[in-house]
Every structure is written in structure tokens, then in C-alpha cells.
Structure 1
Amino acid sequence: MRPRGARRRAVVRRRHRGGPPTGRGGRPVARRSGRAGEGCRPGTRRRPRRGAGPGGHARPARSRRGARPRSGSGALAPLAPRARGPGRPRRRHRPRGGGGVSVAELEPGLLDRVRARLADRPGELTPHRVAEALREAGRPVGDATVLSVYESLRRDVVGAGPLEPLLRLPGVTDVLVNGPDHVYVDRGEGLEPTSVRFPDDAAVRRLAQRLAALAGRRLDDAAPFADLRLPDGSRFHAVLAPVARPGTTISLRVPAARALRLDDLVAAGSLSGPGAELLRALVASRAAFLVSGGTGGGKTTLLAALLSIVEPAERLVLVEDASELRPDHPHVVGLEGRPANVEGAGAIDLRVLVRQALRMRPDRLVVGEVRGGEVVELLAALNTGHEGGCGTIHANSASAVPARVEALALAAGLDRAAVHSQLASGLAVVLHVARGRDGVRRLAEVGVLDRGTDGLVTVVPAVTAGADGGLHEGPGAGALAEVLAR
């Protein structure tokens, strides 16, 4: 049996040769009724052929635009080009994706109208929905524009929006937004202005509220500030305008992709070689210590590096308000505090978590940041056989640490004499870090605790770092040597 296409071509050839059309197997095919030379039913009038004039005479066929003319011999002629009417322009082929414009070239307010139309019909954000919203907004666009608008809107609902490229910069530690026109980044060498801008303060506010919602927190005029940890581990803080001026502020602390080792800190200039050896000896001695410093001074970075050199057989239990410590250690358990919900219930503070951590058989108890009543529980733990405990604390210098601990403990209900008594017997060393004028965070001082005749604890400098990076011994060097020799 011949294929269907071949049978059709055979019928066409026979028609043009003048013979009767044949069908399958060469059998003749009956002609349609109503043509000349064919019979019709009695009592019916034969319908004239199309194009016949008066009297049934054939009328010259009108040429149709784009019709296939026949040659005199009846053979099929090549296709003729389609004729265009007068004044009709030639249609140009537009490649797929062409003819689009970037988001920056769109008229003001178009993105807001598209965003509003998409919000009216909730659903997954797709290029198809964006194209429909653009057409409804009265904007004829090409595929390139649809994709450009789609990517812009996707950044608004996924990740950190316009800040996402900054968060991916190598070595970035902080991204700060002061209103729509001032965005800064810190890559370890101080704050740098960037070219990132927001359309207006409403865009900054939307981003702040969306990031807060990712962590299940409320951020609005009734609760205009939030401090939380995002799902990717970044520390997020925001204050809405008009409480914040010149506009809504956002502060993002970016966690390191991996914990820096002491060798990394030496390579970065934060530690000298002898300083790194001193810290290794401190960790091996299992003496309790605190890392002090200002905001962004490198306290958490140094503490994570020290925890990474703890013996693998030891169990570390970390207690943090927001998880930032990521030591490179095989046995780490983390406990994280939780703020109250919108009803004011469900809060879990660090003081409760320190008590829980003591029941988890920690070889080393670590408090990520001592800044409240948890200092009482930490001092109690350091005085009940839990060696090697450590943490960080905000202080302007190593000598200011006892006063800072005293203030926190007094606020939690511990009297002054008890504070200094427990501090002297439980804590051994203070490591102070500071940021230099060149923006580099460095270990500035190592001090040992000493209790005077008045019962008050002071910090005696044992080692200080000079401008040349070298270590210089202080009056407490002998006491530090005794601590390291334990």
C-alpha cells in the first residue's frame, strides 16, 4: 500500500494530465455533482461553475493575491512572491526576545503597577504572569523586557533583593542600609559606600518587613524594630522610619562561609606568629577566658578560631542569642535563644539555656555573647568544675571587663561581693581585640585577673601588641605563664 502522501500526489498528476482521478488501487474516483458533463438529480437545476458569466460561459478567473498561477501546459509553477497593497509596509521579522527594554528604561511607576496587579491575584511568580500584568498595565513589551521585570520582581521576593549581590562578595562581613540612597559594605577593611540604590524608602521598608517575616517576626509601625537571625544564618537588624532617620535602616551581619583558623588570622594580619602560639597554649590549658572588644571588632571570629583547635574528643555546647559561631569542630551542639512572639509569649532567654546546657555534659560551655543575666549562670558554671568555659563580652578595653561583668550581674540580682568572688575564682584570662585605623581587627591585649586586698578584681596586662605586630610583656606576664603551665 502506498503512503497517503504518495496517493494524493498521484491523484494530482492524473488531474493535470487530463485523465480521470483515481483512488486507491487505481479505481476511478467519482466526480462531485453539479459540474458540466455530469448528471444530476431530475428536477434540480445545475449550479453554474464558480466564475461563470451569463449563459454559463466561463469568466476569466480573478487573480488572487498569493495564488499559484498555472502554466499553459498545466504544470505547477514555482510559488510567486506575495503581492502587497499600495502603502503596506514590509513586515520585519523580530527575533524572539528582541525589542525589549531594561527596567531602568521603563516609565516611572510601571513596576509598582505590575507589582499591585500580581498582588491582586496571589500565585507563583512566573514570567508568564509578569507578561500578563505588563499587558494589563498597557505596556507592549518584548520577551527581554518581561524577563528583566521578572528578575527585578524576583529579587524583591527572594533573598535580600538589591542587597543580594553585596552579600555574595568575597570576604564581606556587614551590609548596612541607611535609607534608600546610602548602602555600605564592609569587607574586613572598614565601611565602603556602594552604588546600590532603592527607588524610595517604601522599597527599603518592604525588604525589611519581608526579611523579618522569613524569621516569623513582626515589623510594622507598632513594632518598628527587629533583631533576628535569617534562615541562611545572617544576623538581621532593622528600624523603620520615621523612628530611624533619614529612612528605614537595615544592618546585616554575614556569617563566614567557614570558620577561620588561627593560621588564617595570622595571614590576615590579625595575629602574629607568637600570638597564635600563645593562644594555642591557652586553649590547651583549659583555662576559662573571655574575648572582649567593641562592636564589629572581631570577637566572634577569634572565638570561633579558638574553638576550632579544641581537641576533637571534647564536646562543645554553644549558647547564643543568635547563632553566629561556626567552629570547625566535629562535636558541637548549639542552643539558640528565642524572642517573644506578637502576643508577648514564647521567649527563651540565654539564662534558661545556660542552665539547660549544664545538663548536657559539656566539656566546654560557650556563651556566644554575655550581655545579660546569663552572666550569673556562667560564673556559677565556671566555679563548679566546668573548665575551659569561654565567651565574648562588649568592653572598651581589657581593664573594663570586671566593671562590665559587675554591672550585668548586679542587674540580675547578684551582689557586688559575690560577683568579684566568683569572677576571681572562675575566670583566668581576658583577650581584647580592636580594629586599627587601617580597618584590620587585631588582638590588642592579653590580661590576667587579679583580686586586690579590697576584694575587687582587676585585669593586669600580661601581653600587649605593638604597632609593629610584635608582643610586649607587661606586669602580668608571670601570672599568665602560670596559667598556661597548668
Structure 2
Amino acid sequence: MTAALPSPEPGAQPSGRRRWAPAGGETARGPAGGLDERVLDEVRRRALAGAGTLTGADLAAAVRASGLVVGSGSAAQVIRMLQEDLQGLGPLQPIADEPGTTDVLVDADGRVWKDGTDGLLPTTLRFPEPEQIRTLAVRLAASGGRRLDSAQPFADVVVGRYRIHAVLPPISAGGPLISVRIRAGKSAGLGSVLPGGSTNPWHPILRAVVRARMNFLVSGGTGSGKTTLLGALLGEAAPTERLLIVEDARELEPAHPHVVSLQCRTGNIEGAGEVRMTDLVRQALRMRPDRLVVGECRGPEVADFLTAMNTGHDGAGGTVHASSAGAVPARLAALAALAGMSGSALAVQAASALDLVVHMGRVAGRRSPLELGRLVPDGRGFITVSPVVRQDAGSCLHPGPAAAWFAEALAEKSIPCPW
């Protein structure tokens, strides 16, 4: 991990606001640990000249060119610090590299948290000054081709295997914020993402959903594992199928031989050049998809998504934020309203376009499916979710009212019922 800042003299007050004073534990450095700005200026100049690519030799040359006099041991330390601060996630990188870590979060007080197999936990790392978080956030956004400043105080970028979201004051009260979601790269298989692997009772049920080419949504709260499960399910699709994935920022990388990915683009400072999800969904329909996938339905694109599934595009999938499977209809109604769809129009579209909802949640800190439900019209112009299978607190599955329908739908396609 990175070196701590020197301790202040007894009685001395730390710089910045008092609430940013270190409270023990490891302290994150500012840019290159407070190194002479000439070093950083020289490194930035060389990075621009070399199209952003910097080797260890480039960093060593930058230190020499800056004119900063250091000993051989100090020079090696300077180079290492520059590599940490100008590449990867900087001081957050060691935490992101810890096995099992899925998220790294920096709050407005400079505290660093991590989420993973053991749940959300504080780390010993802390930023003593808000400017250090801002500098890191701006650099991470720039590495993904997005600007982050007072005029554009938030950014969402994908850099390598990290999805990075940053917010600056005054949008974030108290100080800059950074949220890093760590992607595993190629999605793991379905057996790898389910607790217990292929012995998990959900395994044959979810495989049957994919094999039967049912249209489904994976629902759940933030961090519940929606995208991870969706990627694993797509990996179960036949290798002869063409998967066309539309996302706000690329996260899905299913282990499949034929994947086409499209992602949105923000407009420039004048607002020109924006490409929205609705645009991408319409373009995707002209690209011969065997399965159309919308990474997350969060706006008016839900209307195009449902329309596509009603025109013969079966086997489609996506994710949606919802607190329970039963809350999905209300969520879809809110999104459809953004596209000008009435509640009755949504009910007709969704009931015929969507077959199932797979709801994700956390059980004892582990992400797991909790319910499989069928979307059905209620006869009053709305849709409801009828449970197919539910998981109880003891991780046992119990068939619901729609279990018989599910078995019949599988039998029609010569797929054996998993129970």
C-alpha cells in the first residue's frame, strides 16, 4: 500500500478543513505525495506527446528533465509513486486488487470503503484533503475520455475493467465522491455466480429460461448482482446465436463467441453528438440480433425494448432497478411514462413481450436469485407478477402459482421441467 504522509509537528494543525484531519490508519497521498510540481508537469507533457503511454523509462526521464535533485533511492521511490498516481486507480488500486472486491468507494469525508464477499467495510486508507480526491477523479474521468470540472460536475466512464463514477461539489455536498465498480472481464459461467455452483437449485431453472428463449428482466437493487447474473445467463445462449447488447456504459462481456456491443455517448460542451439508449435500441434492431439485450432499462428506451420483443425478438434480456419482483410493474410504468406510454398500453406491451422477472438480492452477504415470476395482466389495465419459484430464508425453493405455466411452456419446446 502507499506510504503515509509525514506526521505533523506536535500541536500543529493539519491543512484544510478540520473534518479532513486523518483519524488514524493509512493516508492517501496527493499527486505524487506532494512532489515538486515540475515533475508532474514534465510527466504530463510527455504523456501528451506519447499519446498517453508512459513507460518506467519515460517517468525516469521526466524526473531528470524536471531538474529536481534526488538521490538514487529517492528517484526510484519517485518513479514508483508517479506510476501509482498517474496510472490505474492510483492509491485505490491496491484495494481494487484485493480478491473478492467488487466496489471501491470514496466518501465526502475522504474515507475509503470496499464492498465484496464480506459486504461493505471501511478500509484503513483515507484522503486527508478533498483536493486529492478531486485530482484523482478528474484524472480517472479524463482517462475514459470524459471531462469533469465545475461546468460538468459528474462523469461516468469505463476504463479497462473498472466502471468509474465521480461527482464534484456543489453537486456532492461536503466534498468530491468516487465510486468504482470492478468488472470481472469476461463473465463467469452461471455455475460460478450462483452460491454453491451447479448444485444450486436455481442453476437448472435459469438454464431452462435461456434454452427456452424466454424474454426476461433481471431485477434488484444496486449491487445485488443483476448485471453479473445477466452476463452469466447470456453465456448460456447457443454459440450459433448473435447477441446484440446495448448499454449506457459497457459492462456486459458474456463468455460467448458472437457478441456485438453498443454504448451511449454524451454530447460535447455544446450538447452535440449525443447518442442515447433509444437511438441504440433502434439501430440494434437493424443489425440482425438473435437476442437483443438492454444492459439496464432506466428511461424511455423501455418502449423500444418492449416493441422489439413484440416483433419476434425472443430470448431478449435486460436489467431493471426494483426492490422486489412485485415492484417491477410499477418501475416499468414509470419508465414507460417517460416515453409517453399510458399504463394500459404498457400493460398490453409488457404482458405479451416479457415472460419472466428474475429478482436478485443478498442472502447472508452473498448475491443470489430470490424469485422467478411471470408477468401477467390483471384484467384492469395493469400487470402483476405471479411467482413461479420463490426462495425462502433457508435457501429452499418453493413453487408458486405460475409454476404450472412455466412447466407447460418448457414442455412445448421439449425442455424438461427442472423440478
TM-score by length of 2: 0.84
Q: Which of 376, 382, 397 in structure 2 is aligned with 1:450? A: 376
Question: Is contact 2:356-2:373 (8 Å) kept?
Answer: yes
Shift, 1:133, TM fit: 4.6
Question: Is contact 2:39-2:68 (8 Å) kept?
Answer: no
- The superposition leaves residues 58-91 of structure 1 with CA deviations (integer Å, 9 ceiling, x where unpaired) of xxxxxxxxxxxxxxxxxxxxxxxxxxxxxxxxxx
Question: Is contact 2:360-2:370 (8 Å) kept?
Answer: yes
| In 2: Cα distance, 1:185 partner to 1:224 partner | 24
- 2:294 matched residue in structure 1: 367
2:270 pairs with 1:343: yes
Matched to 2:386, the amino acid is V
| In 1: Cα distance, 2:102 partner to 2:243 partner | 25
- The superposition leaves residues 283-313 of structure 1 with CA deviations (integer Å, 9 ceiling, x where unpaired) of 1111111110001100011111111111111
- 2:247 matched residue in structure 1: 320
2:391 pairs with 1:465: yes
2:344 pairs with 1:411: no
| In 1: Cα distance, 2:408 partner to 2:381 partner | 21
2:84 pairs with 1:127: no
Shift, 1:391, TM fit: 0.5
SS at match of 1:333: strand
- 1:145 matched residue in structure 2: 74
Structure-2 change in CA distance of 1:418 and 1:112 (3 Å) = same
- The superposition leaves residues 454-478 of structure 1 with CA deviations (integer Å, 9 ceiling, x where unpaired) of 1321101121112221111122211
- 1:192 matched residue in structure 2: 121
Shift, 1:187, TM fit: 2.1
Structure-2 change in CA distance of 1:270 and 1:337 (3 Å) = farther
Structure 1 portions without partners, runs of 5+: 1-101
2:298 pairs with 1:376: no
Matched to 2:78, the amino acid is V
SS at match of 1:391: strand
Shift, 1:242, TM fit: 4.1
2:410 pairs with 1:477: no
- 1:247 matched residue in structure 2: 175
Q: Which of 440, 445, 449 in structure 1 is aligned with 2:366? A: 440
Question: Is contact 2:193-2:228 (8 Å) kept?
Answer: no
Shift, 1:112, TM fit: 3.4
Percent identity among equivalent residues? Answer: 47
Question: Is contact 1:219-1:225 (8 Å) kept?
Answer: yes
Shift, 1:349, TM fit: 0.7
Structure-2 change in CA distance of 1:134 and 1:419 (3 Å) = same
Query: Aligned ranges for residues 82-161 of structure 1 at < 5 Å?
Result: 104=5, 111-112=33-34, 114-116=36-38, 118-119=40-41, 122-123=45-46, 126-130=59-63, 133=66, 135=68, 141-161=70-90
2:225 pairs with 1:298: yes
- What RMSD over aligned residues (CA atoms) do the two structures have, in Å? 2.3
Shift, 1:270, TM fit: 7.9
- 1:309 matched residue in structure 2: 236
- The superposition leaves residues 384-417 of structure 1 with CA deviations (integer Å, 9 ceiling, x where unpaired) of 1111111100111111111111111111111222
Structure-2 change in CA distance of 1:120 and 1:362 (3 Å) = closer
SS at match of 1:369: coil
- 1:32 matched residue in structure 2: none
Structure-2 change in CA distance of 1:272 and 1:399 (3 Å) = farther
| In 2: Cα distance, 1:431 partner to 1:311 partner | 20
SS at match of 1:370: coil
Structure-2 change in CA distance of 1:202 and 1:397 (3 Å) = same
Matched to 1:452, the amino acid is D
2:165 pairs with 1:237: yes
SS at match of 1:324: coil
| In 1: Cα distance, 2:167 partner to 2:386 partner | 40
Question: Is contact 1:218-1:342 (8 Å) kept?
Answer: no
- 1:172 matched residue in structure 2: 101
TM-score by length of 1: 0.73
| In 1: Cα distance, 2:273 partner to 2:133 partner | 29
Aligned residues: 378
- 2:211 matched residue in structure 1: 284
SS at match of 2:105: strand
Matched to 1:229, the amino acid is V
Question: Is contact 2:302-2:335 (8 Å) kept?
Answer: yes
SS at match of 1:360: coil
| In 1: Cα distance, 2:201 partner to 2:40 partner | 61
| In 2: Cα distance, 1:118 partner to 1:476 partner | 63
- 2:283 matched residue in structure 1: 356
Structure-2 change in CA distance of 1:378 and 1:386 (3 Å) = same
Q: Which of 300, 314, 318 in structure 2 is aligned with 1:391? A: 318
SS at match of 2:136: helix
Rg larger in 1 or in 2? Answer: 1
Q: Which has the higher strand share?
A: 2
Structure-2 change in CA distance of 1:279 and 1:234 (3 Å) = same
| In 1: Cα distance, 2:323 partner to 2:134 partner | 33
Higher relative contact order structure (alpha carbons within 8 Å, sequence separation ≥ 6) = 2
2:334 pairs with 1:401: no
- 1:5 matched residue in structure 2: none
